[in-house]
Amino acid sequence: MVRKHLLRAYALRKNAKSKKLGGEKEKMETKNINYLVISLVVMMVVSALAMPASATITPGTFTATLDAGECVDVEKEVYLPGHAPRVDVIFAFDLTGSMGGIISTAKAKSGEIMTMLETDYPGVDFNYGVMSYMDYPHSYSSCGYSSQYGSTVYGDYAYSLDQSLTSDQTVVSSAITALVLGGGSDGPQDYTRIMYESYADTSVGWRTGAKKLVVNFGDNVPHDCNLNEGVTTGIWTTGGDPGRDEVMGTADDLDLQTVLANMATNNVIWLECHTSTSANAHWTYWTGITGGSVYITNSITLADDVVGAITAGISTPHVYGLHLVASAGYELWVSSVPAVYPDLTTPTTVTFTETICVPSGTAVGVYDFTVSAMDASSVSHGDQADTITVPDGERGNCCACPTGTCDGCPCTCMVADDEDDCRDNLKGIWVGADGCDIGTNVPCDEYTCEGEECIPEFSTIALPVASILGLLFFFNYRKRKREQ
């Protein structure tokens, strides 16, 4: 695979920088230097204050023109503030009789909860959704347990997606307010089914790269043939969960522990806001499998408890397995050094050298894709929008001067889209396909640049400027000392 490094953007930036400093140089008086120092200090303070509250990837966009088989390197910076930047929250409500008090509080407080979250995390992109349930409105007998699970008399249902994930808080609050309490018959409810639908219902609308949270309001235990599995000895049965067909003993029946493992595989975290302390060890174990926890709450502390649960759910004191992933179909276009950061303690900023290669044989066209900095649980900590144009026909080489247009300083051989691009954008001389080797210096007397004088780069003048500043401060200080 032919590998070329595009130096154009770099060269243009350096040109702009050099030109600006060239102007300064002409009027290099003490006063101007002082202004420069003040501006630099102001810029540093401003950029410190403007530290992003949420995770970012820099640059956020990248555009290049590359031939099939060609590659480009992009230096990429990812800022990890300690919490996920994109968060999807499903509020799931057990609408059985005993939940009456907490449900009316949740209805009253749902708006407040969302406002508190958005205030605490101004940079985080939240979406919310609503699920509700009572229990299967039938009688079942299985694995040593027989009971009426729920009842049509109370309007019980096993599962409802009342609102798919959306950023519209008004719609979410309305969906919560519209919830109607049912019965639930026997004590256990069909939590297993809700856990299952959290990854199986494709209408939920989880976003790619989002931290996925289910905040469940409940007060009992699921149906399962052995709730004690993984917790303690002995069998505790509350009957099987009949699954979507609501018929016990068929292929879609659900097993609690299998469903919890599948939630973990799908990176859906269960945060249990529980109004009862019974079976606490069980709920701790079940939520733990998904990476979540159980929070004991009541009508008075509900809003704070829910915000506390979600805060814990989205915080990332460590980011494990951070790596770059391109959107579907572009996986092979992108690689990076390092390939992965195994364990990062936040807050921190890390860098990747990303290499984008257009596969050989790629057709002429414009290709848009996203490169995300994903962790091991597929949570994105920043997305970069990429546009790669594969041009019609071979591009050529351009002799242009990265340190400013010049007489007498070396030019550099760069890739240009065409002769116009070379002349207008790179201010260089078009030399076509074989005129020079990419990245090499080419003497100006062979390929002259347009117009202005050759001036040194920023780094070359930075040290002398710093020395002058130091001396000036020193002399000023001595002068003031003498005047005292």
- First-to-last alpha carbon distance for the chain, in angstroms, is 71
Binding-residue pattern over the window 226 to 245 for Ca ion, x denoting contact by CB under 5 A: ----------------xx-x
Q: Tokens in use for 242?
A: 């009949």
247 forms part of the interface with Ca ion (CB under 5 A): yes
Whether the CA torsion 223, 224, 228, 233 is positive or negative: it is positive
What's the min distance (Å) between Cβ of 253 and Ca ion?
A: 4
Beta carbons of 334 and 354 less than 8 angstroms apart: yes
What's the min distance (Å) between Cβ of 131 and Ca ion?
A: 17
| Short-list 178, 188, 197, 198, CA closest to 150 | 188
Ranges within 407-466 binding Ca ion (CB under 5 A): none
Ranges within 378-417 binding Ca ion (CB under 5 A): none
Coil, helix or strand at residue 63: strand
Select 151 or 397, whichever has its Cβ closest to Ca ion: 151
Site stretch for Ca ion (CB under 5 A), options 103-111, 204-212, 219-227, 346-354: 219-227
77 forms part of the interface with Ca ion (CB under 5 A): no
Coil, helix or strand at residue 467: helix
297 forms part of the interface with Ca ion (CB under 5 A): no
What's the min distance (Å) between Cβ of 192 and Ca ion?
A: 9
Select 218 or 292, whichever has its Cβ closest to Ca ion: 218
Select 97 or 365, whichever has its Cβ closest to Ca ion: 97
What's the min distance (Å) between Cβ of 237 and Ca ion?
A: 9
Residues that bind Ca ion (rule: CB under 5 A) add up to a total of: 17
Select 75 or 245, whichever has its Cβ closest to Ca ion: 245
Strand 318-326 to strand 365-374: parallel, antiparallel, or no bridges (unpaired)?
antiparallel
Ranges within 314-373 binding Ca ion (CB under 5 A): none
149 forms part of the interface with Ca ion (CB under 5 A): yes
Long-range Cβ contacts of 261-266 (<8 Å, 24+ apart): 261/289, 262/196, 262/199, 263/195, 263/198, 263/199, 263/289, 263/290, 264/289, 264/290, 264/291, 265/199, 266/198, 266/199, 266/212
Bridge partners (DSSP) of residue 272 are 216, 294
| Short-list 286, 288, 350, CA closest to 319 | 350
* Contact with Ca ion (CB under 5 A) among 63, 104, 250, 440: 250
Ranges within 171-200 binding Ca ion (CB under 5 A): 184-186, 189
Select 135 or 219, whichever has its Cβ closest to Ca ion: 135
What's the min distance (Å) between Cβ of 252 and Ca ion?
A: 5
Greatest pairwise CA separation for the chain in angstroms: 99
Select 255 or 386, whichever has its Cβ closest to Ca ion: 255
| Short-list 300, 294, 304, CA closest to 273 | 294
Neighbours of 402 (CB within 10 A): 22
Strand 86-94 to strand 71-80: parallel, antiparallel, or no bridges (unpaired)?
unpaired
Site stretch for Ca ion (CB under 5 A), options 17-25, 105-113, 135-143, 369-377: 135-143
- Residue 45's Cα: distance from chain center in Å? 27
Select 175 or 260, whichever has its Cβ closest to Ca ion: 260
What's the min distance (Å) between Cβ of 245 and Ca ion?
A: 4
Select 142 or 185, whichever has its Cβ closest to Ca ion: 185
Beta carbons of 416 and 395 less than 8 angstroms apart: yes
What's the min distance (Å) between Cβ of 229 and Ca ion?
A: 5
* Contact with Ca ion (CB under 5 A) among 70, 255, 354, 383: 255
Strand 348-357 to strand 365-374: parallel, antiparallel, or no bridges (unpaired)?
unpaired
482: left (phi > 0), else alpha (psi -120 to 50), else beta?
Answer: alpha
What's the min distance (Å) between Cβ of 275 and Ca ion?
A: 16
What's the min distance (Å) between Cβ of 296 and Ca ion?
A: 21
* Contact with Ca ion (CB under 5 A) among 252, 437, 450, 453: 252
| Angle of the 458-483 helix axis to the 30-49 helix axis, nearest 10 | 110
* Contact with Ca ion (CB under 5 A) among 70, 88, 94, 135: 135
156 forms part of the interface with Ca ion (CB under 5 A): no
Question: Which parts of this chain interact with Ca ion (CB under 5 A)?
Answer: 135, 149, 184-186, 189, 224, 242-243, 245, 247, 250, 252-253, 255-257
